[in-house]
Amino acid sequence: MSGIPSAEMKAPTRIQHNILARSERRLLNWLCARLPAWVTPDQLTLLGFVGALMVAAGYMLSWLDNEWLGLSLAGYIVNWFGDSLDGSLARWRRIERPAYGYFVDHSVDAMATFLMIGALGLGPHMRFEVALLAVTGYFMLSIHTFLAAKIIGEFRLSYLAGGPTELRLMLMVMTAAMPLVGPDMVAGTGFSAFDLFGLFVASILVTLFVVQSFTTARMLRHRGG
């Protein structure tokens, strides 16, 4: 469903250099060719959001038992399936609706991201404020991506060889490690291991936003735009 925000604007160039991009594209094309005709991009967008709800519920229910983290792991897979295939299926069938797809897809993605990462802070393994810092850093970088798509015609889907799929895999590994590592504080820090990891990721995201914004602004200044 991903597209452009205005029918009058030239479609931005999609830039995707993440590690799994080629393998993922082959898999998505294989799936698109085999999905039943009754499956629509909108249904896949909704399915991706259902996956985000599963992730959030698993983290919150892990207060009761770590086995609920399995629900979060399953939710990440469901979220990937729906979120990665909605736009792919629209392009495969040549039924894109650029303005509608762009608006709905990224609006739903924003809420799904807030639920998945924000809910980390509602479980026992990460502080809520740390989770909010991480999701804020992600949204800051997303804002830069949307601005760059409008201003310079480049829609960047990956940074530092990582994209949404790699982020999901990283979160899945972290989730699988939670029962093993536990929520205990790291000596002398007052933070759990997952808090420290969340702060590290947040710092990278904010740094990327600052660097990319400065680089783009300098380029536009020299261009006279």
Chain segment 7-23, per-residue pLDDT in tens: 344 567 878 888 888 89
- Distance set, CA 189 to CA 80, 126, 133, 175, 180 (Å): 34, 14, 18, 21, 20
Cβ contact 96:42 at 8 Å: no
**Cβ pair 5, 102 in contact under 8 A:** yes
Kindly state whether residue 5 falls inside one of the protein's structural domains: no
Q: What is the pLDDT of residues 149-167, one digit of tens each?
A: 889 888 888 888 888 999 9
Does any domain span residue 7?
A: no
Count the domains in the chain. Answer: 1
Q: Answer whether residue 180 is part of any domain.
A: yes
Q: What is the CATH number of the domain that holds 141?
A: 1.20.120.1760
Provide the domain limits for residue 157.
13-223
Verdict on whether the full-model pTM lies above 0.85: yes
Q: What is the pLDDT of residue 89?
A: 96
Does residue 1 lie in a domain region?
no
Mean of per-residue pLDDT scores for the chain: 91
Q: What is the pLDDT of residue 134?
A: 96
Task: Identify whether 22 is part of a domain.
Answer: yes
Residue pair 115/56 in contact (Cβ under 8 Å)? The answer is yes
Q: Please indicate, yes or no, if residue 6 is contained in any of the structural domains.
A: no
Please, are residues 121 and 132 in contact by the beta-carbon 8 Å criterion?
A: yes
